[in-house]
Chain A
């Protein structure tokens, strides 16, 4: 298992955001996390990446406990978190953003990986010296994905990567994620767009009020009438 999270509890000033969520992400698998707005999806990802510290529960990456690590150490351990709303460094260039993605890398393959990102998203390569803030939403999402890839993570987490994008761009981003999946990347993905998430995912979880209410293979969940009623309208 790449990632095991067990019974996470987390509250914000008395308000319980995670109420015992558990989930696992197998090696090379894609896991989708769906749920309504405010269900606690982002909080799960932040707990994994160390931005938030769960009050109780355990998170292990390839068997190693990581829930006590600060965020920068979690990245070093191998989890890259592509946050909700992209959160690029708007004042910096494309290249600088990518370099920040590979900030901890000391190996000689950084340049090669950067070239790979430019291959994946040629538009970034063409505009590598431009400031990230000038890009369209879709291009920014590409850069955010590229930035996360630069860390060469063992687990890649996406938080609503298609939020606010045009249908064409959504297609483009989802295709990219599918491509990464086919290359063997382990992915944990949060989406409000349940259809897209469950189509891509080998396995899905439904979260509601900080609890896992359903889980199963992506296609099974897609077929489940309750999921269809609640999330696919």
Chain B
């Protein structure tokens, strides 16, 4: 019983972190029908940016309540800069090209970013210890213990998702995003510049991924260049599971993915070595039998 509860909580924490990546996937796919493989790497470079600023630029005795915000801002800045560069240089020239072209380009960008970090970031050929920019220790709830970093993730991720929801629902830019997702041609007749909407989508998604990267790093305490790809695929699965285009769906989907991985690792055949396999199996089943996801209509950004 206590193992079950513990695994549920572990799964939810992982899910919350994946959810922050999934939000970017769901928005972008909703608007341009692009699986931006590189979004996972945008998350990954954010983590390395935070790692860099904390180890190289901040004094060693910086208290966590200073270090954490600085790391978050850096991660967001790095993620956003990379995402914008990728959009401008790689994707924008391909608007209107054959449908495989953007997908293959996305794959290329993903590999390029991973490899650039692996080769040029000092020490990145092996996993790196992430700075502990949050109080150690854990919250004890009956049989369950949660690291404070986990509590932070569980609090922040849904909060950011809700904020994004409100922004997309209420703001002028959010309205333009929804309009572009629903009917890009008519959106242009409303004076909406699709390039700006797409860029804004990249920026929003990258910012959330950047925050997620820091939360991920402090919770799991180490990062490597593969965290983007793996978690990116999970996040994409989550976005599809929740109904691609749906912000709430992405968060719910991510929490479910986290649960599946955690519980399958504990209880399913093969144990922890096969937990990924179960997530991928779930992914295949969802794509095959319910591509519109749990929350209804496909391919629309809805808040």
Contacts from A to B (Cβ < 8 Å): 49-51, 70-72, 75-76, 80-81, 83, 87, 89-92, 96, 99-101, 103-104, 147, 151
Taking the complex as formed, is B175 at the interface, i.e. its CB lies under 8 A from any CB of chain A? yes
- B248 CB, nearest partner CB in chain A, Å: 15
Residues from 278 to 303 in B contacting A, C-beta threshold 8 Å: 300, 302
Residues of B within 8 A of A81 (CB): 189
- Is A89 touching B191 in the complex (CB atoms < 8 A)? no
Chain B interface extent, by class: 10 to 19
Q: Do residues A83 and B182 form an inter-chain contact, with CB atoms below 8 A?
A: no
- A80 to B207 alpha-carbon distance, docked (Å): 35
* 7 A-B contact pairs sorted by A residue (CB < 8 Å): A75-B191, A83-B186, A83-B189, A100-B176, A100-B187, A100-B190, A151-B191
**Per-residue contact bits, chain B 196-240, to A (CB 8 Å; 1 contact, 0 not):** 000000000000000000000000000000000000000000000
Taking a contact as CB atoms under 8 Å apart, the answer to whether A96 and B175 are in contact is yes
The verdict on A91 contacting B188 (CB below 8 Å), with A99-B175, A100-B179 known, is no
Chain A hits for B188, CB < 8 A: 50-51, 70-72
Residues in A whose Cβ lies below 8 Å from that of B193: 70, 72
Query: Taking CB as reference atom, which chain B residue is nearest A101?
Result: B190
Known: A51-B185, A83-B186. A92 touches B192 (CB 8 A): no
Q: Does B172 contact A (CB under 8 A)?
A: yes
Is the beta-carbon distance between A89 and B189 smaller than 8 angstroms? no
A76–B175 CA distance with the chains assembled, in angstroms: 18
The answer for the CA separation of A83 and B176 in the assembled complex, in Å, is 18
Task: Identify which of residues 140-179 in chain B touch chain A, using a CB-to-CB cut-off of 8 Å.
Answer: 172, 175-176, 178-179
Q: Which residues of B contact A100 (CB under 8 A)?
A: 175-176, 179, 187, 190, 192
Residues in B with CB closer than 8 Å to A71 are 188-189
Interchain nearest-CB distance for B167 vs A (Å): 15
Return the contact of A89 from the options B172, B186, B194 (Cβ within 8 A): B186
Q: Which of A72, A80, A91 has the most CB of B within 10 A?
A: A72
- The residue of chain A having its C-beta at the shortest distance from the C-beta of B193 within the complex is A72
